[in-house]
Chains A and B, each alone.
Chain A
Amino acid sequence: MFQIHLGPDGEVVMAGRLDATQCEAALEFLNARAAPRVIDLAALDYIASGGLRVLLLTQKRARADGRNLLLVNVRAPIHDILRYTGFDRIFDLTRAGS
């Protein structure tokens, strides 16, 4: 189960499991509007390389608009995956509980 929607301050909220079967829907949602400034991952339980690609494409779009994407509330298991791929250096991020 994966959900993506806009939060009260215009941030994108992702929740559940962003596996390979959900990436197309996530990209469709993101590409239908200007690249977000913030994606809240507090309720994201799972991500793999397909999901990382969604984040990467969104970051590239934000940069093209002269902005930088911020990932907030990144939980430890998700942070591990960002770290193993070096994505923690590509994104500005804040970790859950900080």
Chain B
Amino acid sequence: MKVRVEMLEITSLVIPEGRLDFAAAAHFEQRLAEALDVAGASGAALIVDCAWLEYVSSAGLRTFLVTARAAERAGVMFALAALTPAVREVFELSGFNRMIPLHADRGTALEHAVSRAGRKARLVVLNEALQLPALTRFLQEFWADAALPAGPAQAFELALEETFMNVVLHGAPAGSARVEVSLHLSGGQLALTVEDDGPAFDPLSVPAPDVSARLEDRPVGGQGIHLVRRMMDEVSYRRVGRRNQLRMSKRVES
């Protein structure tokens, strides 16, 4: 049996070809586990396109059950698509069709995955200022792909710049650490998360600047995080293991 694995939108797509029998099961289960890891890290769904799957034995069936349980633990949507009548019958007779969603074709499965799990994207860069244009591009491409309204874009570009530059200027020495930026759009709400492995620092603990101060009394810094709080609906900080995690969210579509 041959197994192809692809990334499509937010989905890991596994495409087995041929016979999934006892001899092929261990290898197939391994490929599914790898694809699930990828889906858990950057996507939201794992879909197996069964259009070229000719036969499934009981050992083969078991690999789907193992994967379904692992997907549930990882919070990843798992579904099968385009089963041939013979393979579908095996799923129905065993009752597995009640545990694993079966879709008529790949397109339906993808659509279902996107609408249920939302849209996710993730980018990891070094903590240096010259990475900022790449981050802005990443955000703008996400915006265009999701066809979001232009209005709230500036708030997110600003939040990304302020929080990233905060890490660059006040975190680990430039170029020595990684910053992970992720976006998750779900139910009209967009969440931006910025994580770094620098020393523990809660930017929300910095007191808000006095916005009524006279020019002479104004410090030239310290505006950034205040602006972010002002422009986002919610901002929260957590220390997760050895990482700082700043999460910002705002409604972007009704």
Contacts and interface: CB of A to CB of B under 8 A. Distances in A.
A57 B133 CA distance: 24
Contacts, number: 62
A46 B162 CA distance: 13
Contacts of B115: none
A8 interface: no
Interface stretch (B20-28, B45-53, B86-94, B153-161): B153-161
A20 B218 contact: no
A41 to B, nearest CB: 14
A90 B215 contact: yes
A21 B223 contact: no
A21 B158 contact: no
Given A20-B129, A21-B130, A85-B227, A56 B220 contact: yes
A46 B129 CA distance: 17
Interface residues of B, number: 27
B212 A86 contact: yes
Contacts of A11: none
A60 B216 CA distance: 8
Contacts of A21: 129-130, 132-133
A8 B34 CA distance: 62
B86 to A, nearest CB: 57
Interface string B186-229: 00000000000000000000000111111100101101101100
B135 to A, nearest CB: 10
Contacts of B209: 85
Given A21-B132, A49-B227, A50-B165, A90 B218 contact: yes
B158 A20 contact: no
Nearest to A45: B154
A21 B164 CA distance: 12
B162 A60 contact: no
A-B pairs, 9 with minimum CB distance: A86-B211, A49-B224, A49-B223, A84-B230, A48-B161, A20-B165, A48-B158, A90-B215, A53-B220
12 contacts: A20-B132, A21-B129, A21-B132, A46-B157, A48-B157, A53-B221, A60-B215, A81-B227, A85-B209, A85-B211, A85-B227, A86-B213
